[in-house]
Amino acid sequence: NLVKKALFVKSSAKIEECPADGINEYAFIGRSNVGKSSLINMLTGQNGMAKVSQTPGKTQLINHYFINGSWYLVDLPGYGFAKTSKASRAIFHAMITNYIQNRETLINLFVLVDSRLEPQKVDLEFISALGESQVPFTIIFTKADKISKSALQRNIATYQEELSKEWDELPKMIATSAESKLGREEVMHFIDELNRL
């Protein structure tokens, strides 16, 4: 087990409430239902760690988990959920933007996308906006067990093509599955590596 210890620390409604101890953190974000909770549970090896399939868009809090006494795993709220009001979407957007642009201890952002889908507008727009904040990010393809290897490769290639229109350097991309645990070691080793720098 790569995670020896995973502790829930707190939920924060805004950046000012987040832990202020200067510990490095690695955040996970994606549209509602992309499989973020399942991935976090898979990575930490703790099934109840993040809640799977809570009412989409309802929990708009920043959740901090302390991993192996050494770094924070941060569960950010899902974006792109249509059923919330415009006003609450705006508050949510401001909170996430503030977190991404100003959280000094954020080392890397993992952006989750569904491996079965062609690049989605809401995801591409979110990724595009990351260019302004200059935060390092990685693309995680979720639910890879649900499609064939060739379809997965095709979808990853399409993503690379799409992103290369805008980015000189492509981000790292990792295929994962909460079912088969595909990508677990790659994600955890990548975080360990970054955390040693």
Q: CB under 6 A: which stretch of 8-16, 126-134, 142-150, 183-191 binds ligand GDP?
A: 142-150
Instruction: Note whether 80 binds ligand GDP by CB under 6 A.
Output: no
Contact between residue 73 and residue 50 where contact means Cβ atoms under 8 Å apart: no
Residue 52 to residue 35: CA distance in whole angstroms: 8
| 3-state class (DSSP) for residue 136 | coil
Distance CA 89, CA 127 (A): 18
Identified binder of ligand GDP from the candidate list 163, 178, 187, 188, rule CB under 6 A: 178
Which of the 8 DSSP states describes residue 20? -
Is residue 78 part of the contact set for ligand GDP (CB under 6 A)?
yes
119 to each of 32, 123, 145, how far by Cα in Å? 15, 7, 18
Q: Which of residues 82-141 bind ligand GDP (CB under 6 A)?
A: none
Instruction: Give the per-residue contact string, 35-74, with ligand GDP (x = CB under 6 A; - = no).
Output: xxxx-------------xx--x------------------
Decide if residue 29 touches ligand GDP (CB under 6 A). Answer: no
Is beta strand 172-175 parallel, antiparallel or unpaired with respect to 137-142?
A: parallel
Nearer of residues 23 and 124 to ligand GDP, judged by Cβ: 124
Residues in the site for ligand GDP, rule: CB under 6 A?
A: 30, 32-38, 52-53, 56, 78, 142-143, 145-146, 177-179
